[in-house]
């Protein structure tokens, strides 16, 4: 019987498939998922349904892939802040 830390039990749904969010304990899924999601880049990274998937092919069984997911970082503001956004600390007299 294997035990996993509580963090390994967090999953997100990607096109109807539950994918682990813990990199040390990725989900083992069939290769047919890649046909539905699309091919990853050469680093094994793929973005699907606002989730970043890290895909590695299994070395012993060619019909399996190991996948863990993460949510993308929140977008940065496209424009810089203005001086009106910050409270004035000093004043020129």
Domain range for 22 is: 7-70
**Spatial contact of 71 and 92, defined as CB atoms under 8 Å apart:** no
Tell me what pLDDT residue 1 has. Answer: 44
On whether residue 2 sits in a domain, the answer given is no
The Cα-based distances of 34 to 13, 22, 30, 63 in angstroms read 15, 19, 8, 11
Tell me what pLDDT residue 92 has. Answer: 63
Rounded-to-integer distance, Cα 51 and Cα 40, Å: 13
- Enter the tokens of residue 15: 């096109």
On whether residue 30 sits in a domain, the answer given is yes
Q: How confident is residue 77, by pLDDT bands cut at 50, 70 and 90?
A: low
On whether residue 11 sits in a domain, the answer given is yes
On whether residue 83 sits in a domain, the answer given is no
Counting the structural domains of the chain, the total is 1
- Enter the tokens of residue 26: 């990725």
Residues 5-37 pLDDT 10s: 655 468 888 888 889 888 888 889 999 988 888
Rg (CA), the chain: 20
On whether residue 47 sits in a domain, the answer given is yes
Rounded-to-integer distance, Cα 83 and Cα 69, Å: 38
């Amino acid at each position: 019987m294997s035990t996993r830390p509580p963090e390994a039990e967090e999953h997100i749904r990607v096109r109807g498939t539950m994918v682990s969010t813990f990199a040390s304990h990725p989900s083992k899924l069939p290769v047919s998922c890649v046909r539905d999601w699309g091919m990853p880049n050469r680093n094994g990274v793929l973005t699907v349904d606002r989730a970043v998937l890290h895909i590695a092919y299994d070395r012993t069984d060619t019909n399996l892939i190991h996948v863990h997911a993460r949510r993308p970082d929140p977008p940065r503001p496209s424009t810089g802040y203005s001086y009106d956004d910050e409270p004035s600390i000093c004043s020129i007299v």
